Chain A
Amino acid sequence: MSNLHSLSHYWPELILTATILIGIIADLFYKPKDSGKTMYWIFGGLALTAFAVKLLSDSPAAILFMGTLAHDPFAWFFKMLIVLGTVIVLLMSGKSSELKNQSVGEYYVLIGIMVFGMFLMVSSIDMIMVYLAIEIVSLMSFILAGYLKNDKSSNEASLKYVIYGGFSSGIMLYGFSILFGLTGTTKLYEIGPALATLDGTANFAIMISAIFILAGFGYKISAVPFHFWTPDVYEGSPTPVTAYLSVAPKAAGFALLIRFFSAVFGTGENVAAGIIPVSSALPWPQILAILAVMTMTLGNLVAIQQESVKRMLAYSSIAHAGYMLMGLPMLSADGISAVMVYLVMYLFMNLGAFFIVMVVQAKMGGDSFSDFSGLGWEMPLLGVAMTLFMFSLTGIPPTAGFIGKYYLFAAVIQAGPSFYWLAFAGAVNSVISLYYYIRVIRQMYLEGERSETIQVPAFMTSLIILVLAIPTLVFGVYWAPIADWVSSSMVFAIPSM
């Protein structure tokens, strides 16, 4: 589609752009102590954006801007998911004690820009756009991680993030340049066929470029061995930012990974029909499966040793990236939709867990396990909700996490006996994870003094907890809407050649 025609399908991004600009200007008119009001502008803009995405989802899938962006149900799914996660994080940020004494106008604007970057990430089908989108999201996350300018751990988080982030996107870019050299095009769907025409002598170059590119994407979803930044950045960043980084960019990273590898290293068009044929010489299923097992095992084993709940959740989010990677080695539509279902479930339970950590931090001034002592008796709502989130993260029925894991394991087992070991590794890891998730619950109910008085959290805090806890419970029992949504989203726009 030509540039001018594309604009009529580009409303969500246009609205977002306007929102960001309005946010920047509105912030100028607020006194520093009122700068939190910028949130309402971004909030309203995001609501309009979601509405625009919804309206456009009646239109047929298309390719926009001369083959750089895909406008398809797969992208709409992730756009909705990202807006949902962002809205919840905006509400959380409003309650954050860390951000209270800061001028937060820019904070909300930066989150708005990040949403824009993620919108591009989930729909880009051109290497230039992929790089730009990843960099937009990365640059914003560097600043958000270091938003507490006078806090040393926030400083450290942003420095580590910027170094690892720049490094891995540089490596990825080098991989892109080799891929461009081999095929002479930057369009993902032209690269696949062009690679297929190369003879065996190019295999080494293809392998190098694929591994370099995997490093860039692996960094975004924090897969082992590209995860080094995750624990420090997650621990040092303000907690709402940590919650955001663990959910939204990870979802966008998975979308990009699925689209990129199915277009470039598969033939692309059969994704919706079932199996993605692999055209290159690389053993993709094995590479992705080993990556998944390494990621979840390392995440779980190191999470056990943590004394800070926030850092434990950082390692747990690495482990969950590993579970989600389990859906990709089969290169099947079932696997991809399992990852999408899991991302929806993961959004609620993980944001919930981080929000409880945030509330405890504000109350106790820390986030170590001992700060959670007796919390279940003192603040019953927090205790019950945290128990629910921990059960859900482990994957115990009847919670959303169980359904997510069920879809993943079902997809792995359906792929045949050659993947049984992967399902086994996933099951063992789920059992390991039970140890440190249960430890939080034990700390809340069995340790510390049993308080006589009950504290009721503020209205907004209770509301956010309920917004996150109810879906975590309900989707564990009634998940048909999610499954339907995902299965109707498994449509990819493929440019005609």
Chain B
Amino acid sequence: MHSLESYLYVSAILFALGLYAVVTRRNGIAVLMGVELILNSANLNFLAFARFGGVNLAGHIFALFVIIMAAAEAAVALAIVINIYKNYQSINVDEISALRQ
């Protein structure tokens, strides 16, 4: 478990799972969880590359910023989903289609 490759494999699997969740899930929250998985797979990449690639701190810094942005994005996204639930009584992304008559 102490090689760069193993981390990259885990992150690729996370990325694929996130992609799968975004494409197949119909529940708004589950789609957002898929997005979080994608962000975290990228984070894992940054950290693995920074750890194994030398003394470069940029990867760690990048990961920190991504965590902060992901938190901000989750806050905004959940607020939007709550508002959707108030108006539609549903968070199924297929049912929310007033547009495109």
A residues near B, CB below 8 A?
127-128, 131-132, 135, 139, 142-143, 146, 149-150, 152-153, 155-159, 162-163, 166-167, 170-171, 173-174, 176-178, 180-181, 184-186, 231-232, 235-236
B residues near A, CB below 8 A?
8, 11, 15, 18, 22, 28, 31-32, 34-35, 38-39, 41-43, 45-46, 48-49, 53-54, 56, 58-59, 61-62, 65-66, 69, 72-73, 76-77, 80-81, 83-84, 87-88, 93, 96-100
Which residues of chain A are within 8 angstroms of B69 by Cβ–Cβ distance? 131-132, 135
Interface contact A158-B80, CB-CB below 8 Å: yes
Interface contact B32-A131, CB-CB below 8 Å: no
Contacts across chains A and B counted by CB atoms under 8 Å? 124
- CB < 8 Å neighbour of A173 from B48, B58, B66, B84: B66
- CB < 8 Å neighbour of B80 from A131, A142, A174: A142
Interface contact B58-A180, CB-CB below 8 Å: yes
Which residues of chain B are within 8 angstroms of A127 by Cβ–Cβ distance? 62
Chain B interface SS verdict (over half): helix
Interface contact A235-B99, CB-CB below 8 Å: yes
In the assembled complex, the CB of B75 is this many whole angstroms from the nearest CB of chain A, namely 9
Return the chain A residue nearest B79 by Cβ. A143
In the assembled complex, the CB of A8 is this many whole angstroms from the nearest CB of chain B, namely 25
Chain A interface SS verdict (over half): helix
User: Residue among A149, A180, A186 with the most chain B CB within 10 A?
Assistant: A180
Interface contact A170-B80, CB-CB below 8 Å: no
Contact A181 B49, CB 8 Å, known A128-B58, A135-B73: yes
Interface contact A236-B65, CB-CB below 8 Å: no
Return the chain B residue nearest A157 by Cβ. B99
The docked-state distance in angstroms from the alpha carbon of A152 to that of B41 is 34
In the assembled complex, the CB of A422 is this many whole angstroms from the nearest CB of chain B, namely 31
Contact A163 B65, CB 8 Å, known A155-B84, A232-B99, A232-B100: no
Return the chain B residue nearest A149 by Cβ. B83
Interface contact A170-B88, CB-CB below 8 Å: no
Contact A170 B35, CB 8 Å, known A135-B69, A159-B84, A185-B56: yes
